Structure 1
Amino acid sequence: MKNCTTTFEPRTRHDGLPHQNPWIIPAWSVLLSILTQWPFWAALTTADMTNKAFALRDMFLPAQITVNNITMGATEGAPRAVPQDAILAILSPAIPAYTMAALVMVFSGSLGSFAAAKMVQTMAGGRLIAQFAASLLVVWNPFVVERLLQGHWSLVSAAMLLPAVAYFAASRLWGMLLIVMTVCALTPTGLILAAIIALIFLTQWVQRFWIFLVSLLLSAPWLIAALVNSNATGGTLADPASAAVFAPRAEHHTGTFGALLSLGGIWNVEASAPSRHTLSELVGIALTAILILGIRELWRVYRGLTILTIAGFMVPALLSTDPGLALMGWLISTVPGAGLLRDSQKFVALAFPGMVLLTGVVIERMDYRRDRSKYFFPVTEVRNKPVSTRWLQRGVGVLLCALIIGNVPGLPKDIEPVAPRPLSPVWEQISNSVSAAPRGKVLLLPPGNYRMLGDYPVIDPALKLLPGTPLDPGYLVVDGRIVDGNRTSMELLLAIMQGHDTLKANGVGWVLIDWGSVSEQLNMSRAIKALQDGGYQRALDIDKYSLYRIPNPNLDNEQITDVPVRLGIGLFWLVATIGFWLTIWALYAAWVRYPEWWRWKYLSGRTPVPIHDGPKEVGVR
């Protein structure tokens, strides 16, 4: 094998090694998914989910999400939760939103773990213990836990699917590649991650061009909306100060780079895994240090992937320095849409496929029966090596599994806050009231787009439950600092909190007050006085919620259309449909070609053939 940037040369079991049961890895992958995404499995298996929702910080997934301006991306700035919220809102009358999200999560965890094992088996010649460790690494790490606790479920789904993107791209399984890229594209960051991985693992420029075109189609829901909406250009710029707020965070005594090396370091300290401490961070650093031992072999065969893996750690670390923060602050305040990059810790996920292969390389290197002069250690026919070296290999595999678990020692319990929680039944009454006349915007008080639900903050349920045009102020309060904000909503909130009534003139038809989220430090007296002086009727007063009706609002204000998002979703579904039928065709072809097509070992869709008369290496026709 010559040195090259990317290759895909599966090692088959023509090398004299015993075949493994084809169902072991699928069963292991599902087991890992149950352990690490158990709240989503619980939602699928629980009979009574009435008035319950996944509600934690940025995640709010009730049974039905309303089609409104927020979910459809028709806001004054760039769409924030498109296409995931738009798709869930459109489909939720038929399938509950929490059910769709749970299906995506269990699918991603299971398939990502399985694909990681297949990568190790076919690209690194890894045996069962190496496949176990690689599968475990994908779903059992601080990145997955922290992002779930922050509510970034679709980003976690995309990160877990990156090994699947790599495997399907390398094996040219186009249908499955399109399907997993479509799932990743539920969030813009997920699409970026998947596109980069796919381009790295493809070898021909024609293939890369088509995947780039596919990526553009999948980005259509949010890209077209950002380009068409009149206020999008200004709305896609961000506050330079937010660069420091969203920078990777140092953990305990390991520093920022140490946190990143252990796959942690999310900007919000409250979203850290409860079981993470200095010792577990050192365990994570030790895990990465051991994997680095295989970097030479990875470089000799997969140079592009090696560079990407290193960049996955180095770039976020550099962006957290003072010069990096200055650069990011300039980018997000100057380049429209660059705010997508300011949360740089999420790009650590780009290291996942490389770490998967490094896991296989390091474990297989411990078996001295392999010819260590060959890349990725193809097996030779030498039989006079001591059998005890197999136990060394297994021991290293068990050690890596222990380090992976020790990186987040309390994972099954750590994600307990993600579990579905009760939702107040009064939302149906509030929604029905807002659906009545007058039409107009809905102003949400107190200021802010997060509400307390139990012990945790949650994105305001009104943004996804109320019809029409609920106003999202768009600003975030992180560690006591206010960043960003939609100008129109901020001006309305500032005026009403100071006692000035500008509601009718700005097209506001309803004011909803959540008294359960009003802190002791917040003075609402001026706002209430302005509502009373305006003669506005209290249409509803129930369960800590007060709904005021503003008659005859000015509806002449320009309304932002959701047509671009709907057009983009059509292109999004086009890619998904093509991927589905390509997969069906591939399975049919496998059924015709192989009578035992149902066996996992045949689902690669490639025929192993000898590429030379030397040792038993194989290539792909």
Structure 2
Amino acid sequence: MRGRHTAAAAGTGLVLGALAVGPGLAPGFVLSYDMVFVPHPVFSRATFGLTGMLPRHVPSDAVVTALSHLAPADLVQKAILLAIFVLACASASTLVPSERLLPRLAAGVVYAWNPFVAERLLLGQWALLLGYAGLPLVVTAAARGDHRRLALALLPAAVGGFAALAVSGLVALTVGWRGARSLLATAAVLLLVALPWLVPSLLRVSSAPADAAGVAAFAARADTPFGALGSLLLLGGAWNAETVPGGYGGLLTALIWLLVVAVAVVAYARGDRIRGLVVAAAAGLVLASLGVVAPGVLRGAIGLWSGFALLRDGQQFVAPLAVLVAAGAGMAVGRLPGWVAPALLLPLLLLPGLAWGAGGRLRAVHYPADWARARTVVAADPGDVLVLPWEAYRGYPWNGERRVLDPLPRFLPGRVIVNDGVRVAVPGGRAIDLAAEDPRARELDALVRSGAPLTAALAAHGVRYVAIDAGAPDSRLAGAERVVSGPDLALYRLPGAVQAHEAHPAQLPVYIAWFITFVTFIWSVRVPTSNLVETSPPEES
């Protein structure tokens, strides 16, 4: 019976995913902020976090690259996006201690369709959402104190990488805490599954800038009339105002969302619950609000250790509260049978802006032919590529001017240098410029911004090509050979480029880290899948 309920919840999640992604399911790629998929990705040092920006994309990029050798990359992207909704709905349904299907479905729908999911999807943070989708399974495994099951439950977060594992780690440590021994065992499991991104992060820690300016840039923002803290309580409050779905944030819908959250929290508190989840939700809410209520404390912490920069984008730590709200909503529906139909439809009615690709904002597009020609040229005559304009996020005409993290570093073979320092607009009409993380970008930043001729100077720094938007000024590239010319991209080859000598961390520790994590998951798969999704975890004493 429970297996059939989980299958029904998974099917419901598939329908919700298709409704949310909408036009993104057409042929092509969905490119939105941090969501960057490219055709025919290849493994490189950057894939494993050994060069370029810090390894936030590890191991997610490597997993996507591996899957793209088995199926077309655009199909891989669509499968991942749909899997997020399937897993979210199915896993949340297992937290409701009821033998009836509809209360479980209510929990799944609330968990898969809420402001947190909508805003993070528009931000393109599919890797974080993958970990979010599996978070209820982490709750169950941690509550049972079964560390083999916990390792398997952490697989989606492990694929997602550092942000997904940070959120899942908070839940695992708080829910599974039964003393020092259990805490150490849980921490050991987290460490083992985090090694693929943790090791390259530690190898490159000396080159990581500690830019505390990001505290103001990424602090939670109000997307409801209740201010930033109230918006966090309603599972919203993402830092980027452009990612608020259409129709969300009005007074009436915000009041109803507040009522849903309040009823769910009360129902969870009165039901057969995992009390550690309450602690995780409260701790997550505190972390999410740090950038609003105590920005000075957070800036000071980042100044002491750059690793605390993880807390700048605090809204991601609202995820444990979303688990609690979803489980509580299912418990409330279980006590109020007459509210089943409204409970299943209410999230969609309160958040219609997520439907059909967030109102068409998540549309599939094709990369221009100019880009493919540039890839062929660079593959035939390899060399470092510098990308202009000197910006991290771009609004391409062929992508409907929607902002996206520059895809060229993943699209072109070899070493691609972009300015990965992010500019974030903040209230008051100001903009905050964050320091670049890529050592080569920091090395060349002053030169690129100087306005001086670039051809000889870049060649002397080991740059062989410059990729520039077609129609953008190229007067600083006098003497360079234009080898690709088209309506979307121009590629210049610089004469006399020297061989670049870039220091790289040792690869062997990274290979060992991947092997250890792989062995950990092999060890964990001895847990039967039916046990992994077993419902009604025991109440903590």
* TM-score for the superposition, normalised by structure 2: 0.87
Q: Tell me by how many angstroms 1:207 deviates.
A: 4.9
- Deviation string 1:410-468 (CA, Å, 9 cap, x unpaired) is 3322534234222213322211211233x432110011122222230112121111111
1:338 aligns with 2:282: no
- Measure the CA separation in 1 of the matches of 2:488 and 2:111: 43
For the structure 1 residues 507 and 397, does the alpha-carbon distance in structure 2 shift closer, same or farther, using more than 3 Å as the test?
same
Equivalence for 2:184: 209
For the structure 1 residues 565 and 284, does the alpha-carbon distance in structure 2 shift closer, same or farther, using more than 3 Å as the test?
farther
Q: Which amino acid aligns with 2:191?
A: L
Q: Tell me by how many angstroms 1:475 deviates.
A: 1.0
Equivalent of 1:277, from 236, 249, 253?
Answer: 249
- Measure the CA separation in 1 of the matches of 2:248 and 2:14: 21
Equivalence for 2:55: 79
- Measure the CA separation in 2 of the matches of 1:619 and 1:490: 52
- Contact kept in structure 2, 1:141 and 1:263, CA below 8 Å: yes
* TM-score for the superposition, normalised by structure 1: 0.76
Equivalence for 1:551: 495
- Contact kept in structure 2, 1:37 and 1:105, CA below 8 Å: no
1:195 aligns with 2:169: yes
Equivalent of 1:306, from 272, 278, 288?
Answer: 278
1:499 aligns with 2:452: yes
- Contact kept in structure 2, 1:116 and 1:134, CA below 8 Å: yes
Match of 1:489, SS state, is helix
Match of 2:106, SS state, is helix
Q: Which amino acid aligns with 2:327?
A: L
- Measure the CA separation in 2 of the matches of 1:344 and 1:606: 30
Equivalence for 1:560: 504
Equivalent of 1:572, from 512, 517, 530?
Answer: 517
- Contact kept in structure 2, 1:66 and 1:466, CA below 8 Å: no
- Deviation string 1:169-228 (CA, Å, 9 cap, x unpaired) is 445666654333122122211112222323334365555433322211222122211222
Match of 2:36, SS state, is strand
1:483 aligns with 2:418: no
Once the two structures are superposed, the pairs formed by residues 607-618 of structure 1 within 5 Å of their partners are none
Equivalent of 1:348, from 318, 327, 345?
Answer: 318
For the structure 1 residues 569 and 99, does the alpha-carbon distance in structure 2 shift closer, same or farther, using more than 3 Å as the test?
farther
Q: Which amino acid aligns with 2:404?
A: V
- Measure the CA separation in 2 of the matches of 1:619 and 1:550: 66
Q: Which amino acid aligns with 1:188?
A: F
Question: Greater shift after overlay, 408-417 or 269-278?
Answer: 408-417
Match of 1:120, SS state, is coil
For the structure 1 residues 417 and 177, does the alpha-carbon distance in structure 2 shift closer, same or farther, using more than 3 Å as the test?
farther
- Measure the CA separation in 1 of the matches of 2:256 and 2:497: 60
Q: Which amino acid aligns with 2:366?
A: P
Question: Greater shift after overlay, 341-350 or 351-360?
Answer: 351-360
Identity of matched residues, %: 26
Equivalence for 1:372: none
- Deviation string 1:25-57 (CA, Å, 9 cap, x unpaired) is 42233223322354669877x6xx4xx222111
Of the two, which has the highest radius of gyration? 1
Q: Which amino acid aligns with 2:13?
A: L
Q: Tell me by how many angstroms 1:506 deviates.
A: 1.4
Match of 1:56, SS state, is coil
Match of 2:503, SS state, is coil
Equivalence for 2:40: 64
- Equivalent pairs counted in the alignment come to 523
Equivalence for 1:458: 404
Question: Greater shift after overlay, 410-419 or 110-119?
Answer: 410-419
- Contact kept in structure 2, 1:69 and 1:470, CA below 8 Å: no
Can you give the 5+ residue segments of structure 1 that lack an aligned partner in the other structure? 1-19, 367-392, 519-523, 588-599, 609-617
- Measure the CA separation in 2 of the matches of 1:402 and 1:555: 61
Q: Tell me by how many angstroms 1:247 deviates.
A: 0.4
- Measure the CA separation in 2 of the matches of 1:419 and 1:604: 33
1:221 aligns with 2:196: yes
- Measure the CA separation in 2 of the matches of 1:245 and 1:619: 40
Give the alignment's Cα RMSD to 1 decimal. 3.1
- Measure the CA separation in 1 of the matches of 2:71 and 2:276: 41
- Measure the CA separation in 2 of the matches of 1:255 and 1:457: 26
Q: Which amino acid aligns with 2:165?
A: L
Equivalent of 1:539, from 483, 489, 495?
Answer: 483
From the two aligned structures, give the one with the greater helix fraction. 2
Match of 1:23, SS state, is helix
Equivalence for 2:428: none
For the structure 1 residues 514 and 575, does the alpha-carbon distance in structure 2 shift closer, same or farther, using more than 3 Å as the test?
farther
1:130 aligns with 2:103: yes
- Deviation string 1:508-554 (CA, Å, 9 cap, x unpaired) is 111110136x5xxxxx3xxx33321xx22112212331111123323
1:512 aligns with 2:467: yes
